[in-house]
Amino acid sequence: MFLGGTLTIFAVLVAVYKVTRRLEETIGTDSEGRTISDRLNRVEHQLWENGGSSLADRVNKIEACSIETSTQVKFIKDLIISGSTDQVVQELPKKRRSSQKPA
């Protein structure tokens, strides 16, 4: 009976230690010494435009290239379908300027 009680207490202590250690890893610092706040700031940095290095900036650049490419393809398609090269080149749509959000 004493041995069973001792093993039970030991098992509970090991479980508590594992849970505490996992919480410390999640809430505390990682292997590089960064806190959860530091890591979230890095993620937040990628969500808003900041001059070219964020994910939002890259998505906007891809969107602009996509619009320009589709406009050019439409123009070429219209030329081919009409069979005339005497058409006046239409002005490409102006690039949309995105608003800058504070980081």
- C-alpha to C-alpha distance for 9 and 70, rounded to whole angstroms: 69
Residue 103 belongs to some domain of the structure = no
pLDDT of residue 73: 95
Q: Identify whether residues 15 and 35 lie together within a single domain.
A: yes
Query: Left (φ > 0), alpha (ψ -120 to 50) or beta: where does 33 sit?
Result: left
Between the two ends of the chain, the Cα-to-Cα distance in Å is 63
Q: Identify whether residues 41 and 62 lie together within a single domain.
A: no
Each residue's pLDDT expressed in tens, for the chain with a length of 103 residues: 888 889 999 999 999 999 988 887 777 777 788 888 888 888 888 888 888 788 888 999 999 999 999 999 999 999 898 875 554 455 556 666 666 665 5
Residue 10 belongs to some domain of the structure = yes
pLDDT of residue 23: 82
pLDDT of residue 69: 96
Residue 24 belongs to some domain of the structure = yes
Residues of the domain holding 38: 1-47
Residue 83 belongs to some domain of the structure = yes
Q: Identify whether residues 43 and 78 lie together within a single domain.
A: no
Residue 11 CB-half CA count within 13 A = 6
What is the number of domains present in the chain? 2
Q: Identify whether residues 34 and 57 lie together within a single domain.
A: no
Query: How far is C-alpha 71 from the geometric centre of its chain's CA atoms?
Result: 28
